[in-house]
Chain A
Amino acid sequence: MKFIIQIVVTIIISFALQSFLPWWTLAIGAFGAAYFIDNKALASFAAGFLGAALLWIGMAYYLDHATQSIITEKVNKLLPLNAFVLTGLIGGIVGGLSALTGTFLRQK
């Protein structure tokens, strides 16, 4: 349950922060959620990864769908991986590592 909560909180805080601040505040959101929710290290990393990845993929999907993929299909030609996959991976790794940092700081 705490695992799911950490994911949801990561999404909410990171969404709020990134709506006004630079992209890397994603890390602050995932860090904060992990610090306060206190999962085990591995679970925290996974929750941070999933929270960040889901937020980025979800938001990207929303924009992509509203514009009939007009930019996605072009950018796909210049990226080594599908844009959604790469977006999820990059967002996820940043989220996961930040969450891990938060959890380690909390641990005695």
Chain B
Amino acid sequence: MKIIKVGLTLALTISLVYFLNTSHNFGSPIPPLGKFLSPFQGFWQNAQTANQNSETLSIPCLKDKVTIVYDSVLIPHIYANNDEDLFVAQGFITAKNRLWQMEFQTHAAAGRVSEIIGKAALDFDRTQRRLGMGFAAEVSVKSMESNPTAKLMVDSYTAGINAYIQSLDESSLPIEYKLLGYEPEPWTNLKSAYLLKYMAKTLNTGERDLEMTNALKLFGKETIELLFPDNEGVADPIVDKTNQWNFKPMTLDSVELSVPAQLVHVKPFEKSPPDVGSNNWAVSGTKTATGSPILCNDPHLELNLPSIWYIVHLSAPGINSMGASLPGAPSIISGFNDSIAWGVTNAQRDLVDWFRIEFKDNSKKEYKLDGNWVAAKKRVEEIKVKGEPVYYDTVTYTHQGPVVYDSSFHGAYEKSHFAYRWIAHDPSEEVMTFYKLNRSKNHADYMEALNHYSSPAQNFVFACVNGDIAMRIQGKYPIRRKNEGKFILDGTKSSSDWQAFIPNDQNVMDKNPVRGFVSSANQFPADASYPYYVQASNWEAYRNRRINQVLTELTKCTPQDLMNLQLDNFNLKASESLPTFLLNLDSASLSGEALEAYKILKAWDYKNEIDSEGASYYEAWIRAFVPMVWDEFEDQKVALPWPSTYLTIKLMKEQPELTFFDIKSTPEKETAKEVIRKSFEEAVTVIEKWKSDQSQKILKENPLITTYNVIPRWASYKDAIVNHLLRQKAFSYNIEHGGNSSIVNAHSKTHGPSWRMVVSLEKNVINAWGVYPGGQSGNPGSPYYNNLLNLWTQGKYVKFTFTAESEKMKGKELATITLNPASK
């Protein structure tokens, strides 16, 4: 009897403990509850106060002592005596604050999310693998490790991260590991390579060659040239040196397109939204109050927590630089040092192509090239899936790259095969660019640093204390023949391959232009006399002109003036379209809600401020208008590109009778005018619906209130959110901020200025400010998780403390962490 009782209770206890020590999934995932809730090691242990402890730690692989001083917003100022120690410390302190994010992002890059969250992420993981992210990262780490400086840098950075991982115990694990029930694995150089490829994917995958090929087949060449011109003629290229491109360009024979006989029936992978972009500019001393140049940068990415950026100050013999780093990669990406400042925006150029491949048979072992059968390679991707067997995915590679789609992946109805050629698959050494930029003293150093840079192509803005300002659009660009890269190319001929690349010194660049400033906002790179064919899926049309307009008018400007420009909410798109919209309404016939909307729009000052109601109505209107115009594109069963909003507005003004304005589902023949009216009605309905939804929500939450009048303020209508990387609501924040995509302050619902930096490069002192929507700590239990987000939302900046001597940080420090070499 006793044995049975003891046996039963013991078995029950052990099963319970086992159950509470493992994660489960009953519809929604459940953490290992015992572990997670235990106040001795669970989530409770992640709670922190604003105080930080000073500590002295022993770290293996250090050569000498390193001092890390945290300032009041938890920015680490790292003082080391040599390069290796500097990068060990950068790796260590970044991991201390951002470890989970660093690992999660590299898992995402590598297509390993299923391992953590289960089969819901399998399609995402397969996409990553099939785009050749692993192939690209392996090539990249090989070239990194073959350069002694780059190798030293990534080896040290990796060692620093691993020193931190080894110091962790159950209770100090970041909360996300506790929640999902897994543990960090050792960091490797490959993971840093993955992170850089992740950025490349975010910035390069706006391409739409397959979609364009379908459009060409459906609508014909003439329509394509009208709706998708290489250059929309927005004016204001990044560099305008008309007829002063003094070099002899390389030329190639023309290339043939390979439009397949059938429409392309693949379901393209999810592309980066057009909200991904950036602004940067540098103003010369002739236009500033101090007579010294000022440089500004704000990259627009998806806004997440923990933030994509981590501010750090790196100081060692030969280097004293500060700015935004990417957790997972050594050095500073957008920042400044004692002599120069630099920043980046995406160069947009088409660096992705699709080649139609002819395989000998279904085994896809050989493909046709110049009349011969050539062996294809197979790469087997092993995808671990939480709670499921391992998924093996075999991807075929031609010399161009991976064949992304096939009958097993997004191509059930597709007979043709397309190989994916992407510049990020090529060997490159971007880390050397940043190593050298961090140490650059002048324009010549900056130019040399950029010679190492291939991908993703960026507009590098530059300013120097000696007064120089510059812009260079750096990347490894294949020399394009007319129309090459817009549509599917013929993969059976080696002549359609990328033949050569534009030499670095023939890339678009400018130094000290007469107008007194350089700027870029993802627009067309150069004036029409630039001798190379330039093409992209999307050139920015509005931010760039607004920036240039404001910069042209500014004189004796201060850093505050330029902060105001970064925060500028003027909606140029609205100012160019709304007057025509309103003119086409029959205002006399309007009544009720429509009349109210008309009045609000009529009175609107074109600014997307937090409280602007006009901004909400305009947004609803343009969102209704554009799809109504391009209904011909929506009807089709295949993937198609969409003409840009800029072009849509231009056509509305210049060719209102164009057949595309006819709405196909109605018997009448519409012109732009009718589409404007119909979309206005729809917009008013949308806003009214939104208002009633909001008011019902509020009444439900507050039973004591009987009526609630909802005002469509722009910030409420936009309903912006900064999501935790896991989309975990509890760790995310709804925010109220002005701006929108296509506005200089490019903050849309989920994307926006992910880092704002302003640097005044004065003769005796560098004055610098910066902020990002997040916080230096990645821990949701830390006050430093979202403290910068609050400043960012209010349009405020942090004035940086920047000194090469650690002693001068006295009195400004929150805590000091001393790292000593571990005795062997």
Q: Name A residues whose Cβ lies closer than 8 Å to a Cβ of B.
A: 18-19, 22-24, 26-27, 31, 56, 59-60, 62-64, 66-72, 74-78, 83, 86-87, 90-91, 93-94, 97-98, 100-101, 104-105, 107-108
Contact = CB atoms under 8 A, between A and B. Distances in A.
A104 B34 contact: no
Given A67-B781, A90-B34, A74 B2 contact: no
20 contacts: A18-B38, A23-B41, A56-B37, A56-B39, A59-B44, A63-B44, A63-B45, A67-B49, A68-B49, A70-B782, A71-B44, A75-B43, A83-B37, A83-B43, A87-B37, A90-B37, A91-B37, A97-B13, A101-B10, A104-B9
A23 B5 contact: no
Ranked 4 nearest A-B pairs via Cβ? A71-B781, A23-B38, A67-B47, A59-B39
B40 A74 contact: no
Nearest to B11: A101
Most B CB within 10 A of own CB, among A62, A75, A100: A75
Contacts, number: 111
Contacts of B33: 86, 90
Nearest to A108: B2
Contact of B728 (A78, A94, A97, A108): A78
A64 B20 CA distance: 22
A53 to B, nearest CB: 11
Given A74-B780, A78-B730, A101-B13, A22 B6 contact: no
Contact of A107 (B2, B175, B728): B2
B783 interface: yes
Nearest to A105: B6
Nearest to B170: A22
Contacts of B17: 24, 27, 94
Contacts of B16: 93-94, 97
B781 A70 contact: yes
B12 to A, nearest CB: 6
Interface residues of B, number: 37
B41 A90 contact: no
Given A70-B783, A77-B729, 4 more contacts: A56-B37, A71-B781, A74-B781, A94-B16
A26 B43 CA distance: 17
Contacts of A19: 40
A97 B12 contact: yes
A65 B404 CA distance: 53
A63 B37 contact: no
Interface in B712-757: 728-731
Contacts of A18: 38, 40-41
Interface string B35-62: 1011111111111110000000000000
A83 B43 CA distance: 10
Contacts of A100: 9, 13
A83 B227 CA distance: 57
A26 to B, nearest CB: 7
Contacts of B767: none
B723 to A, nearest CB: 14
Contacts of B49: 66-68, 70
Contacts of B780: 71, 74
A43 to B, nearest CB: 15
B163 to A, nearest CB: 23
Most buried by B among A24, A83, A107: A24
A67 B48 contact: yes
Contact of B13 (A23, A63, A98, A107): A98
B143 interface: no
A85 to B, nearest CB: 10
B21 interface: yes
A74 B730 contact: yes
B35 A23 contact: yes
A66 to B, nearest CB: 7
Q: Which of B5, B38, B175 has the most CB of A within 10 A?
A: B38
Contacts of A27: 13, 17
Interface in B502-533: none
Interface in B756-795: 780-783
Contact of B175 (A26, A68, A71, A104): A71
Interface in B149-184: 170, 175
B175 to A, nearest CB: 7
A90 B20 contact: yes
Contact of A75 (B9, B13, B41, B730): B730
A82 to B, nearest CB: 12
